[in-house]
Structure 1
Amino acid sequence: MNVQGFSHVTINVKNLARSLRFYVDILNMKLVHRGRKDAYLEWGSAWICLQERPDMEDQCPQIGVDHVAFFIDEQHFWEAVQHLKANHVPIVREPTQRGRGLSVNFLDPDGTQLELHTSTLAERMKVWK
């Protein structure tokens, strides 16, 4: 098996239209395709699928993905944090130094935790060696 790298994340959402307003209008992701119950978006080299699943509302949120992290250059980090705050996006972990990078965690409209992070895995490992 010759895995080349990260491909995408699928996020289950309760209301596709509401989630698209957040991901496109606030996070500035590019809408590539919208179906009846799903949408595909790009953000730099990362892409995600939003899948409308209102029937999943009663499932335990601790099972499954804890959060999804996206890389951002450090030069754009503080501007992104201010953008999130200006749009009243819930911040669940204020900006902090994690390893050799800066990190901020926030929630989408369904409570899925997202993170913006400025370092690579190699940079993080240098801290733990």
Structure 2
Amino acid sequence: MNVQGFSHVTINVSDLNHSLSFYLDVLKMRLVHRGRKDAYLEWGSAWICLQERPEKAKQREQLGVDHVAFYIDEKDFDKAVKQLQENNVEIVRGPIKRGLGWSVNFLDLDGTQLELHTSTLAERMKVWQ
């Protein structure tokens, strides 16, 4: 599996407006896209997605990081998916085309959701705007 680096983190938050003030004003991230229930922010070459999930607030352990995504070149994607399948890794979504790239979400042995993703934030924004 030829993973080339970190792609993004998606974080569940109970109140998007409240969280945005922290990420924008305190951490000085740059807002790239604001949706009804999500926001995409950039911080150097890293990017994150905040997704409003108030129903998770009752289950405190569900706030915070939703999944961790790693960038992988599209030419290596199918081979990586096959490797996951051959090792009986639990795939929870995909492989699917998301925006201009491909994604597959899967669980590690402790149930942490990970993703292999083939596109950049700029490519994702082309389909969101």
Scaled to the shorter chain, the TM-score interval is 0.5 to 0.7
Spell out, residue by residue over 1:3-37, the C-alpha distance to the aligned partner (whole angstroms, 9 max, x if none).
5334xxxxxxxxxxxxxxxxxxxxxxxxxxxxxxx
CA distance in 1, matches of 2:89, 2:61: 19
CA distance in 1, matches of 2:67, 2:44: 22
Partner of 2:119: 119
Does residue 101 of structure 2 align to residue 72 of structure 1? Answer: no
Aligned CA RMSD, in angstroms, stands at: 2.2
Consecutive unaligned residues of structure 2, counting only runs of 5 or more, are 1-27, 30-42, 47-58
Residues 61/106 of structure 1: CA separation in 2 closer, same or farther (3 Å cut): farther
Partner of 1:4: 44
Note the C-alpha offset of 1:61: 4.3
Aligned residues with identical type, % of pairs:
65
Does residue 106 of structure 2 align to residue 106 of structure 1? Answer: yes
CA distance in 2, matches of 1:67, 1:79: 21
Number of residue equivalences: 78
Partner SS state of residue 67, structure 1: strand
Residues 78/62 of structure 1: CA separation in 2 closer, same or farther (3 Å cut): same
**Equivalent residue letter for 2:118:** T
Partner of 1:24: none
Partner SS state of residue 62, structure 2: coil
Note the C-alpha offset of 1:94: 1.9
**Equivalent residue letter for 2:45:** G
Partner of 1:93: 93
Runs of 4+ off more than 3 Å = 1-6
Partner SS state of residue 114, structure 2: strand
Partner SS state of residue 88, structure 1: coil
CA distance in 2, matches of 1:109, 1:81: 17
CA distance in 2, matches of 1:76, 1:106: 17
Consecutive unaligned residues of structure 1, counting only runs of 5 or more, are 7-58
Q: Which has the higher contact order (CA 8 A, sep 6+)?
A: 2
**Equivalent residue letter for 1:5:** S
